[in-house]
Copies of this chain bind each other. A is one copy, B any other.
Amino acid sequence: MSDLLGRLRGRGWRMTSQRRVVAEVLDGDHVHLTADEVHLRAAARLPEISRATVYNTLGELVALGEVLEVSTVGRAKRYDPNARNPHQHLVCSGCGTVRDVHPVGNAIGDLPEEERFGFAVGSVEITYRGLCPGCA
């Protein structure tokens, strides 16, 4: 993420304090925050930032491919800045913690031709579920 601001400027983004602080909040490993969590942390640095701006900025980052949306079951979407490193997710069924993982197989290849219904399969998402050490 360290070069994110530079890439965004290169794409013609007007660099505002709001966008800067959202980008700063989305930094680190295993970061999978909800929009509200991003807003909370951004507001700690920039109290006047609005929810709408956080949603707008997250949506733009997703459209640019800089951030991934992680779908959850019945909960708020989570935003994942680790978009440059393809990975999958391990989710704790107890506390909801999300970790990035890298399985070794080729899941797309595991789908037989006769199971593809003529689709052009382009990507695969894998979610592992279980209990983390703290919740076990």
Distance in angstroms between the alpha carbons of A107 and B110 in the assembled complex: 9
* A110 CA / B123 CA spacing, docked (Å): 17
Report the stretch among A10-18, A40-48, A111-119 that lies at the interface.
Answer: A111-119
Contact with B along A52-77 (1 / 0, CB 8 A): 00000000000000000101111001
Binding stretch for chain B, among A1-9, A20-28, A127-135: A127-135
In this complex, the interface size class of chain A, counting residues with CB under 8 Å from chain B, is 35 or more
Tell me the smallest distance from the CB of A115 to a CB of chain B, in Å. Answer: 5
Q: How far is the CA of A61 from the CA of B90 in the complex (A)?
A: 26
A49: Cβ under 8 A from any B Cβ: no
Which B-chain residue is minimally distant from A134 (CB atoms)? B118
Q: Taking beta carbons and an 8 Å cutoff, which residues of A are in contact with B?
A: 69, 71-74, 77, 90, 92-93, 99, 101-112, 115-133, 136
